[in-house]
Structure 1
Amino acid sequence: RWPGRFEVIRLNGKTVILDGAHNPDGMKALAVSLKSALPAKEDVVILMAMMKDKDIEGALEKLEGLPIRKIICTQVPGLQRSKQAQELAIIVQEVFPRSIVAIEPELQRALDEAMKENGFIVICGSLYLIGAIKKIMGS
């Protein structure tokens, strides 16, 4: 068991999956785990931030085929390597044209937006993001 690797937590009555997947191989492993863990027809909401120097498009393509209803693009606060939420959203929209893509650069507000959604919430794209989210949660 590795913290931040398909780490399942309950938060305010919701199932939240934390995964630091940040490259194509990591995203492929996340996709395989999600496909085996999700109940049939369960929507997924993704909260995501990624680093500028990663293969963002290649990583996102590994999530194709999942029932992703919404992707919330954010960024890791205080980290210059973090892709800006607006720039990430452009790439996400190209890969997932049928999903809702939201932009929320401020991490706490992005988490709040995700928590309003139904279905599973997956937070992924960077171990830095997982660390920042855990700090917000107080763990």
Structure 2
Amino acid sequence: MIHSALKSVHIPCRMEILEKNGVKFLFDGAHNILEMKTLKKNIDLLGLPISTVILSISSNKDIARMLQAIEITDATYIITPHPFLERNISRREIEEAFQTFETNNYMYNPNLEDTIKSIYENTKGNTFILVTGSLYLVGYVKSILFPD
């Protein structure tokens, strides 16, 4: 009975895959280095082709180490401010962190709603858009794309 119940457990915004008009999203609220490593391990285990990463990192985190933990070097990264202004990281800090990472394929975009619409409209093929870095961000993006 317990085994059966565990198979049906659903935790929103944790390895949650949703699809909208053929565009696949992976929502995961990983917000520390260990969670990012676990997320990356699960992405690799499932063979999910991530083309875009929408990411927000809180000011009390080590940006470079979090990027290294997720390590999806062939994806495009869209960095957005943290939903809580007091936890924002400056654009300069983000750019410095990306200098330690293996990709220059990133952009900082403070207008999240426009970014989401643009990515959604331009994503094609068998790829996923990963939204991660903050449960607040993941919940916000999910509410925009999949309103009740």
- Normalised to the residue count of structure 2, the TM-score between the two structures is 0.78
1:80 aligned partner:
86
Deviations 1:5-43 (A, max 9, x none): 11111123111001111111010111011101225xx35
Q: Is the 8 A contact 1:18 1:124 kept in 2?
A: yes
Match of 1:51 in 2: 58
User: Who is 2:46 aligned against?
Assistant: 37
Cα contact 1:44–1:68 (8 A) shared by 2 = yes
**Quick one: structure 1 residues 114 and 32, their matched pair in 2 at CA, closer, same or farther if it must change by over 3 Å?**
same
Which residue matches 2:6? none
Change in Cα spacing, 1:70 to 1:24, as seen in structure 2 (3 Å) is same
| Structure 2, unpaired ranges of 5+ | 1-9
Distance 1:46 1:132 in 2: 15
CA distance in 2, matches of 1:8, 1:18: 6
Q: Which secondary structure state, in structure 2, belongs to the residue aligned with residue 94 of structure 1?
A: coil
CA–CA distance in structure 2, aligned partners of residues 110 and 93 of structure 1: 23
In structure 1, what is the equivalent of residue 5 of structure 2? none
Letter in 1 for 2:21: N
CA–CA separation in structure 2 for the residues paired with 1:86 and 1:111: 23
Q: Shift of the alpha carbon at 1:93?
A: 4.4
In the TM superposition, 1:97-108 aligns within 5 A as 97=103, 99-108=104-113
Which deviations, in whole Å up to 9, do the C-alpha atoms of 1:55-76 show, x marking residues without a partner? 2222111122x35321011123
The structure richer in helix per residue is: 2
The equivalent position to 1:111 in structure 2, one of 109, 112, 116, is 116
Partners of 1:83 and 1:96 in 2: CA distance = 20
Query: Is the counterpart of residue 122 in structure 1 residue 133 in structure 2?
Result: no
C-alpha RMSD of matched pairs (Å): 2.1
**Percent of aligned pairs with the same residue?**
27
The question of 1:10 aligning with 2:10 is answered: no
In structure 2, the partner of 1:63 is 70
Name the stretch that deviates more: 15-24 or 99-108.
99-108
Residue 139 of structure 2 corresponds to residue 134 of structure 1: no
